[in-house]
Amino acid sequence: MSIMVIAAHPHLDKSRANQALVHELQHHADIYVRDLYQDYPGGDIDVEREQQLLTQYDRVVFQFPFYWYSCPPLLKKWFDDVLTYGWAHGPEGKALKDKEFILATTTGGTEQSYQSGGDNGFTISELLRPIQRTLTRCNGIYLPAFVAFHVTPGTDAYLAAEAKRYAEHIQSSARALMH
């Protein structure tokens, strides 16, 4: 299975958690990792290139820090620009049909704070639902998200363990992730 990870952190060089995740993936030759902010520092996305890349991989992982209950602005712009009507969705939009998608995110908050009745009021799954629906609207298969909680105070050992768990998660079969 071919996997492309689109890392979308505005300051990846300063994020211990997201760096740990990306670093772990570099040990896996079959995973292509991209830094969206490095690819498009001015925000001018090459839609044709992105669409072509999407068609080349079986699974696409969007890795980003979870803040303000969403993804970073360049990733949102990427969704808006790349997932076009007639290509990704709409009556003729079948380019992503049955492509697998995973969201991988890091939070400063604890797992308990992202539960019903927790500090954030909703589960992480509920908060990720708009992105999930975007991907399923494009005829993709949404697989369970990977979430690394409470990463801000995380020790290097904790982040390394989460990174290993991340690599295992995104390489797992769809069947294993769904059960």
What CATH number does the domain containing 86 carry? Answer: 3.40.50.360
pLDDT score at 179: 81
Work out the mean pLDDT of the chain and round it to a whole number. 97
Mean pLDDT across 105-120: 94
Amino acid at 146: F
Query: What's the CA gap between 71 and 76, in Å, rounded?
Result: 7
Angle in degrees, CA 29, 96, 39, rounded to 5: 50
In the chain, the number of structural domains is 1
List the one residue out of 110, 107, 99, 11 whose CA is nearest residue 61.
99
Query: What's the CA gap between 131 and 70, in Å, rounded?
Result: 8
Query: What's the CA gap between 167 and 27, in Å, rounded?
Result: 9
Query: What's the CA gap between 69 and 117, in Å, rounded?
Result: 16
Query: What's the CA gap between 167 and 83, in Å, rounded?
Result: 26
Contact 59, 30 (CB under 8 A): no
DSSP state of 101: E
pLDDT score at 100: 98
Mean pLDDT across 33-45: 98
Q: Which structure tokens are listed for 46? A: 């090459």
Mean pLDDT across 131-157: 97
Mean pLDDT across 140-165: 97
Cβ contacts of 167 within 8 Å, gap of 6 or more: 24, 25, 27, 28, 31
Cβ contacts of 73 within 8 Å, gap of 6 or more: 10
